[in-house]
Structure 1
Amino acid sequence: MTEHAEYTDHHGPEGPAIRGTVVVVPGRGETRETYTRLGRRLAADAYRVRIVDAVHLDADDPAGSLARFGAQVAEAVAGTAGPDGVARPVVLVGADTGAVAVAALLGSGETTVADAVVLAGLPARTASAASADWDDELDVRTFCPAHRSTLSGDSGFRRGALDEAVPVALLTAAYESEADVPVLILTGDADPLADRDALTRAAKSLPRARLSVVRDAHHDVLNDMQHRSVAAEIVTFLEALRNELVPLVTVEASAW
Structure 2
Amino acid sequence: MPGLPARTPEEGVAFCAAAVERLREAVGIEPSFQALGIDEGAFLDALPRQALNAFADALRERGVTVHYLAGLLTETLPRPAARALVHDRVFDERDFGPLSTDRLRAAFDAVDPAELTRCLIGGVAKRELTPRLGTVRSARLHAMAPDDFALAPLSDHLFTLDTSCRVYDGVSVNPMRERARRRETVHFETVHFEAIYRHHPLFEKQEFRPWSGGQADHPSAIEGGDVLVISNGAVPAGMSERTTPQAVEAPALRCSRPVPPGASWPW
TM-score bracket, shorter-length normalisation: under 0.3
Q: Which has the higher contact order (CA 8 A, sep 6+)?
A: 1
With normalisation by structure 1, the TM-score equals 0.25
Q: Which structure carries more helix by proportion?
A: 2
Task: From the CA coordinates, give the structure whose radius of gyration is larger.
Answer: 2
With normalisation by structure 2, the TM-score equals 0.24
